[in-house]
Structure 1
Amino acid sequence: MLPAWVTGAAAGLVSLHLLQKLLFPYFWRDLLYLLKVARCGLTVELHWLRGRVVTVLDRFVQHAERQPHKPFLLCGGEVHTYRDVDRRSNRVARVFLQQGALTKGDTVALLMSNEPDFIHVWFGAAKLGCVVAFLNFNLRRASLLHCISSCEPKILVVGADMFGTLEEILPSLQKDIGVWVMTKDCTLPRVNNLLDKLEAASEDPVPVNLRSANNLKSSVLNIFTSGTTGLPKAAVISHLQILKGAAGLWAFGATADDIVYITLPLYHSAASLLGIGGCIKLGATCVLRKKFSASQFWSDCKKYNVTVIQYIGELCRYLCKQPVKEGEKDHKVRLAVGNGVRSDVWREFLNRFGDIKMCEFYGATEGNICFMNHTGKIGSVGRTNFFYKLFSPFDLIKYDFKKDELIRNKHGWCEKTKKGEAGLLISKVNAKNPFFGYAGNKKHTEKKLLCNVFKKGDLYFNTGDLMVQDQENFLYFWDRIGDTYRWKGENVATTEVSDVIGMLDFIEEANVYGVPVPDHEGKVGMASVILKPNKSLDLKKMYDHLVTYLPGYACPLFLRLQETMEMTGTFKQQKFRLVREGFNPSTITDPLYFLYSSKKSYVPLTKEIHDKILSGQLKL
């Protein structure tokens, strides 16, 4: 017979365990995640106290020395080891150094698609202590020129497959920007060839002091984001942000033995910081594909023994729309890391493709807040608790959706939402969670900050995202505010699209917004337009103009012709009612039109076309 105190203690422990399961079901998973966050932060602090900043690039060079023959990049049937990438990036650095093209602190603008040389140029420039600006290769003409000028680069490096885009902007490009192309024999004026010089360059390392960092908050990258309004803005990315982004895969449980499949464009922070940076943090291998292919996705995963994939919601939906094949669960993928997947697609993805841990996260490129769904709760972008808010203080505040503005009480302060109520996500700006703003744009930096929110003098970063926190402290993305919507995995700034439409000589005014379409991620672009007096709507000219000046994802798929433009009380274009009314020709009396790609024109939106869109027969 056991002593009474033993049975009593055992009963007490069982009771405590049951109580914990009932009242705090996520306690141990929360604790493990918080310990990981604390460990990551402590490592950075210890290096800082010792007087040195160990960057992600430093970590890569260490791997190249310790595991030189381990594959770092697998791309197009080629294997690039850690040593290979290190040495070729040394060649890039040597060329620019010997040619006198770059000095420490200069900015290099990079216009390249997903290819190994993107990473070679990125790392080579970084080894010279330069800031690298990732340009969205979908941008054209004025938008691209704006991005280049806003980051004030010393040189522009262009991929061989970007010749057409370069030819469009070259006559208007600032003359003091050196242009380098990844070819041996480009004949365009004022353009330098890079490939022939790489072959002749030394692969010896450049002096370490060129890349050495003495401040975690110094700028190393510019990554462009639409933000909430206007043309793309160059978000300033520091060493601190790269270190945080690179820790994402590790925090979700990835290891050095994993093989990570990257199909997202490298100019996105998800692919470059979380994907490439995450592989470097782990010392893992990544498979880089030039462009996402739904039909080849799982074949690639099997071919390369992929264990971790990166996704956006649209990518998962495309995979689920593919015809069902035998052996779809016959792969080694165990983790899927990304954001923006709907709950129904999430469930379908797991049912169809097997036991994969979905690691959903939330984070804006320029933001100072990040959530990670470490529990796998379907539909949630992450989870919070008292301790997490000590690391990253944030709040959800009340927002007037109709007026498109913050709600402040009679004292002028914002008010926090209740659980279950949608509110604007704001994150406190402090020394531990700084906001670095946008390169060369103080005005837009200031617009992203909210002052005097809860008390005089406080300062918060405005994410522009509406979120909901439930009773269990899970967070769910609800919508975006302002003049941005998301389509095809890209943020579309409505004012930029409006400006392009306004260039047409028959358009008086354009109001651009996003409308939801069943079974599609994000929102589809729609433009309400008013014609100038005595002018008619030229649908073919409209189509030709928009596809020339806008990337495909930003071209409005629907047009609505109106006689007057409704305005808000503060003289802003009214979008709320237009979004709610959508694009149904049976209920809207205004003329509606649809961008019909196969006909290379906008055509009247009939009930038949509308029904085909809703049924999925007509692909958007």
Structure 2
Amino acid sequence: MAGPGSELPSGPVAPMLLSWLTGLGAGMVLLSFMQKLLYPYFWDDFWYLLKVVCCGFRMEMYRLKGELVTVLDKFLMHAKKQPQKPFIIYEGDIYTYQDVDKRSSRVAHVFLNHSTLKRGDTVALLMSNEPDFIHVWFGLAKLGCVVAFLNSNIRSVSLLHCIRSCEPRALVVGADLLGTIEEILPSLPGDISVWAMKESVPQGIISLKEKLSTASDSQVPHSHHVASNLKAPYLYIFTSGTTGLPKAAVICQLQAMKGSAGLWAFGCTSNDIIYLTLPLYHSAGSLLGIGGCIELGATCVLKKKFSASQFWNDCKKYNVTVFQYIGELCRYLCKQPKREGEKDHRVRLAVGNGIRSDVWREFLHRFGNIKMCELYGATEGNICFMNHTGKIGSVGRANFLHKLFFTFDLIKYDFQKDEPIRNEHGWCSHVKKGEPGLLISPVNAKNPFFGYAGNRKHTEKKLLCDVFKKGDVYFNTGDLMVQDQENFLYFWDRIGDTFRWKGENIATTEVADIIGMLDFIQDTNVYGVAVPDYEGKAGMASITLKPNTSLDLEKVYEQVVTFLPAYACPQFLRIQEKMETTGTFKLQKFRLVEEGFSPLKISDPLYFMDKLKKSYIPLTKEIYDQIILGKIKL
């Protein structure tokens, strides 16, 4: 029997309660329906921003405890807690967290015992993707050194410029890139010691590999690398900008920590196996990839370079669950011949940037239900976006909550004058939704911009002042974005003297300077042109000749392949009698970009880069048609 006070409601109370519960249920259904109708992405936004808040809260707690935890500190924690867990898998070899810790300690002890390096010194690192890249990076970090990642594709003048601009005390080079350094060895500043990961080295270079064989792997005292300030420089990562030669972006400890949280924010866990083919000298590979694995305590399958034919075999072989991409990588995979079992893998997430909507759709159709986590962010920038909803084509979503943490504006831009539009009072204006605008972000204590090493003018050129009011300062991303009616953001184009090709930013003035070194060239105007079915824009150079000289196409070919990375070599040449300039005497690019490389539209002589003939050859209608149809690969 029921005891006192346990009787069920009876009389008029029961219908009232039933009516109240029914009303509550109907209200909840209506509320849910209205939320999905008026704010369909509420919960996606909420959970994503909750992660952002948690990340910030965690870092603030470290600060309040007096603990300035860095990426290196997190790695050392994992090496202690899970020493035998695989950290790096490379060409079938497994390097555990403990292995990487000990090998990097050997590197640190070599420099402690055989060099005068001290805390705060800069060391340049020129290596391909390999475990020793990470061993040297972490070993130098254990000494409190700032490591400058050099692009392994650049040579000659550009490489020498990069080394000089970051003023290193030492340079470490991989065995496969030793020849690149030998080319410029006589021109290197005399106070730089050069170390090679090779036993037999030429005179003037020290064998790091030989000294590692006898070095101690004992722990390096924490006092060598303890962080006193999270805004202290940690890395220099080179980025091509509008001023020509690459610039060394300052990456502080705080930026590295934020970058390492990216994989976690997209839902990766310590159980994931992350496939990394992107170059480690880029922030995507080093900060998001390696740093992201460290944040999670996960395993990274590292490849020397991307191979479309080996990609899915590797994913199956190593049980890969997450991979990092750039748009070109996904396009190459979609261009591969179809095979049986393409959806037979464990990959669940792909994290990266620059994938076109059509490639995105085709990729999902062919390779299965993989969540594409598109993001946007410049190496040196103070603004980033993450597409946490999976909306195809978008780099992220903005709303009033998002703007509390990531403030930005899209302003009107004059494409002819190549500068922001200002009204009669000198202020910039916001674009309407659906219109492309220049992405800018305020520079303040919450969103600092750390700039570049060396010449301060490079840092100042990335800033816009007095934008909406006197005294305000904004970081100029150099990117045009579009925000739609649902507040999704889409990358539209690069501005100025930079375009993107093969996943790399190409500075047009750097390419023009190399071509301009030829004695028969008067002026060179370099720009990017759209090519169907390709990500980014292919390089094109419009040139004028000096009086009484003739064009030597083989010499132009030899010049660009000798002094430029393969991705920066112009695919097309256009010979003009006279260069057009703007009112401020800048070379006019707008019309040239619009006209592209079609011999049907352009009466000027056009040429195409032919790698087999080692020369530029006339761009005929037949060659043009084959490029458009994809029969000739760029």
In the alignment, structure 2 segments of 5+ residues that lack a partner are 1-14
Correspondence for 1:487 among 498, 501, 512: 501
Counterpart in the other structure of 1:220: 234
Provide runs of 4+ in structure 1 moved above 3 Å.
none
Superposition deviation, residue 228 in structure 1? 2.5
| Contact preservation (8 Å) 1:229, 1:482 | no
Aligned: 1:539 with 2:563: no
User: What does residue range 140-539 of structure 1 map to in structure 2 within 5 Å?
Assistant: 140-186=155-201, 188-539=202-553
Counterpart in the other structure of 2:106: 91
Aligned: 1:134 with 2:149: yes
Question: Over alpha carbons, which structure has the higher Rg?
Answer: 2
| Contact preservation (8 Å) 1:312, 1:341 | yes
Instruction: Supply the AA of the counterpart residue of 2:86.
Output: P
Secondary structure class of the residue paired with 1:149: helix
CA distance in 1, matches of 2:423, 2:181: 52
Could you tell me the TM-score, scaled by structure 2's length? Answer: 0.97
Could you tell me the TM-score, scaled by structure 1's length? Answer: 0.99
Superposition deviation, residue 585 in structure 1? 0.9
Superposition deviation, residue 32 in structure 1? 0.2
Instruction: Supply the AA of the counterpart residue of 1:161.
Output: D
Secondary structure class of the residue paired with 2:63: helix
CA distance in 2, matches of 1:597, 1:268: 27
Superposition deviation, residue 19 in structure 1? 0.4
State which drifts further: 252-261 or 584-593: 584-593
Secondary structure class of the residue paired with 1:291: coil
Counterpart in the other structure of 1:104: 119
Superposition deviation, residue 169 in structure 1? 1.0
Once the two structures are superposed, residues 385-434 of structure 1 have per-residue CA deviations (whole angstroms, 9 ceiling, x without a partner) of 11111112100000011211110111111001111010000011111110
CA distance in 2, matches of 1:583, 1:222: 37
CA RMSD of superposed structures (Å): 0.7
Superposition deviation, residue 3 in structure 1? 2.5
Instruction: Supply the AA of the counterpart residue of 2:139.
Output: G
Instruction: Supply the AA of the counterpart residue of 1:249.
Output: L
Once the two structures are superposed, residues 98-125 of structure 1 have per-residue CA deviations (whole angstroms, 9 ceiling, x without a partner) of 1134110000100000000000000000
Secondary structure class of the residue paired with 2:401: helix
Counterpart in the other structure of 2:23: 8
Superposition deviation, residue 184 in structure 1? 1.2
Q: What fraction of aligned residue pairs are identical, expressed as a percent? A: 73
Aligned: 1:575 with 2:589: yes
Instruction: Supply the AA of the counterpart residue of 1:472.
Output: E
Secondary structure class of the residue paired with 1:3: helix
Aligned: 1:596 with 2:610: yes
Superposition deviation, residue 229 in structure 1? 2.8
| Contact preservation (8 Å) 1:101, 1:155 | no
Aligned: 1:67 with 2:86: no
Counterpart in the other structure of 2:63: 48
Number of residue-to-residue matches in the alignment: 619
Secondary structure class of the residue paired with 2:474: strand
Secondary structure class of the residue paired with 1:598: coil
Once the two structures are superposed, residues 47-105 of structure 1 have per-residue CA deviations (whole angstroms, 9 ceiling, x without a partner) of 11222210010000000000000000000110000000000000000000011341100
Superposition deviation, residue 168 in structure 1? 0.9
| Contact preservation (8 Å) 2:243, 2:458 | no
Once the two structures are superposed, residues 10-45 of structure 1 have per-residue CA deviations (whole angstroms, 9 ceiling, x without a partner) of 111111110000000000110000000000011111
Superposition deviation, residue 136 in structure 1? 0.2
| Contact preservation (8 Å) 1:112, 1:137 | yes
CA distance in 1, matches of 2:236, 2:439: 24
Secondary structure class of the residue paired with 2:476: strand
CA distance in 1, matches of 2:147, 2:347: 32
Instruction: Supply the AA of the counterpart residue of 1:367.
Output: G
| Contact preservation (8 Å) 1:381, 1:475 | yes
| Contact preservation (8 Å) 1:52, 1:214 | no
Counterpart in the other structure of 1:124: 139
Correspondence for 1:27 among 42, 59, 62: 42
Counterpart in the other structure of 2:11: none
In the alignment, structure 1 segments of 5+ residues that lack a partner are none
CA distance in 2, matches of 1:23, 1:402: 39
Instruction: Supply the AA of the counterpart residue of 1:22.
Output: L
Secondary structure class of the residue paired with 2:78: helix
Once the two structures are superposed, residues 467-490 of structure 1 have per-residue CA deviations (whole angstroms, 9 ceiling, x without a partner) of 000011100000000100000000
Aligned: 1:38 with 2:25: no
CA distance in 2, matches of 1:99, 1:52: 31
| Contact preservation (8 Å) 1:71, 1:82 | yes
